[in-house]
Homo-oligomer: A and B are copies of this chain.
Amino acid sequence: MGLEQGSNATAATFKVVAEGSITTPKGFTAGGLHCGLKKSTRHDLGAIVCEVPAAAAGVYTTNVFQAAPLKVTRESIGSDGKLRAVLVNSGNANAVTGKQGEADAYEMRSRFAEQIGVEADQVAVASTGVIGELLKMDKVRGGIDALPAKLAADRTGSDDFCQAILTTDLVQKMVCVSVEIDGKLVHVAGASKGSGMIHPNMATMLGFVTTDAVIDSEPLHQLLRGVTDLTFNMITVDGDTSTNDMLVAMASGLAGHTELTPEHQGWTDFAAAVRYVCEVLAKAIARDGEGATKLVEVQVNGAVSDESARAIAKTIIGSSLVKSAVFGADANWGRIIAAAGRAGEPVNPETVDVSLGSILTLEQSRPVAFDEDVALEYLKGDTVLIKVDLHLENGSATAWGCDLTYDYVRINAAYRT
A residues contacting B by CB (< 8 A) are: 62-66, 93, 95-98, 130-133, 196-197, 199, 201, 238-243, 318-321, 324-325, 327-328, 330-335, 337-342, 347, 349, 362, 365-367, 404-406, 408-417
Contacts and interface: CB of A to CB of B under 8 A. Distances in A.
Q: 10 tightest A-B contacts by CB? A: A131-B334, A328-B413, A324-B412, A64-B341, A65-B341, A241-B342, A63-B341, A238-B320, A132-B334, A64-B347
Contacts of A342: 62-64, 199, 201, 240-241
A341 B70 CA distance: 15
A333 B408 CA distance: 19
Contacts of A333: 132
A319 B240 contact: yes
A8 to B, nearest CB: 26
A66 B349 contact: yes
A340 B93 CA distance: 17
Contact of A332 (B63, B319, B416): B416
Contacts of A413: 324-325, 327-328, 330
A402 to B, nearest CB: 12
A318 B415 CA distance: 18
Pick from A331, A337, A340, A410 the residue with the most CB of B within 10 Å: A337
A328 B338 CA distance: 30
Contact of A362 (B132, B332, B411): B132
Nearest to A95: B334
B242 A338 contact: yes
Contacts of A239: 239, 318-320
A95 to B, nearest CB: 7
Nearest to A411: B324
A346 B365 CA distance: 40
A318 B196 CA distance: 15
Given A66-B349, A96-B334, A324-B415, 18 more contacts: A64-B341, A65-B341, A131-B334, A132-B333, A132-B362, A197-B321, A240-B319, A240-B342, A241-B342, A243-B334, A320-B320, A321-B412, A324-B412, A324-B413, A328-B412, A328-B413, A332-B415, A404-B412
Nearest to A130: B334
A31 B93 CA distance: 56
A349 B132 CA distance: 13
A206 to B, nearest CB: 15
A131 to B, nearest CB: 3
Pick from A131, A319, A321, A337 the residue with the most CB of B within 10 Å: A321
Given A64-B340, A342-B64, A416-B332, A321 B238 contact: yes
Contacts of A349: 64-66, 96
Contacts of A367: 96-97, 132-133
B328 A417 contact: yes
